């Protein structure tokens, strides 16, 4: 993978509403989005954050294909994190155990706070 393939954070020229915003406004919006994403703890709030992201991409008129191509390098980190989550999330419901690894229901399904309203 060459460095030219990494488009995450790269500027795409355009004349959309988002492109015409002041750069400070865009930075503040990104920081607020990141904070809200880290504070989200229910499935519903993740869905809202996904809708905000999709709306932002639509307003920016950047092709979704370019956005997904830019996320390709991040995919490795996401997969490794998900695998580690399966093996290192403690919980009372053990599904499998081998050597030093324990797979729990909580590690496979995610936090119980992902349900609607729990």
Q: Does position 96 have pLDDT exceeding 70, yes or no? A: yes
Q: Does position 117 have pLDDT exceeding 70, yes or no? A: no
Mean of the per-residue pLDDT values for the chain? 82
Q: Does position 113 have pLDDT exceeding 60, yes or no? A: no
As a whole number, mean pLDDT of residues 32-60 equals 93
DSSP code string of 40-92: --SHHHHHHHHHHHHHHHHHHT--HHHHHHHHHHHHHHHHHHHHHHHHH---S
> Which residues make Cβ contacts (< 8 Å) with residue 90, sequence separation at least 6?
102, 104, 106, 107
What pLDDT, on the 0 to 100 scale, is given for residue 59? 94
Q: Where are the chain's structural domains?
A: 16-62, 72-118
State the pLDDT confidence band at 104, using cuts at 50, 70 and 90.
Answer: confident
């Amino acid at each position: 993978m060459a460095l030219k393939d990494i488009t995450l954070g790269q500027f795409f020229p355009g004349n959309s509403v988002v492109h015409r915003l002041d750069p400070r406004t865009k930075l503040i919006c990104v920081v607020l989005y990141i904070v809200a994403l880290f504070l989200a703890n229910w499935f519903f709030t993740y869905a809202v954050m996904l809708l905000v992201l999709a709306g932002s991409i639509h307003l920016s008129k950047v092709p979704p294909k370019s956005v997904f191509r830019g996320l390709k390098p991040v995919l490795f980190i996401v997969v490794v994190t998900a695998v580690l989550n399966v093996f290192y999330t403690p919980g009372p419901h053990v599904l499998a155990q081998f050597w030093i690894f324990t797979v729990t229901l909580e590690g496979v399904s995610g936090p119980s706070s992902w349900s609607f309203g729990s």
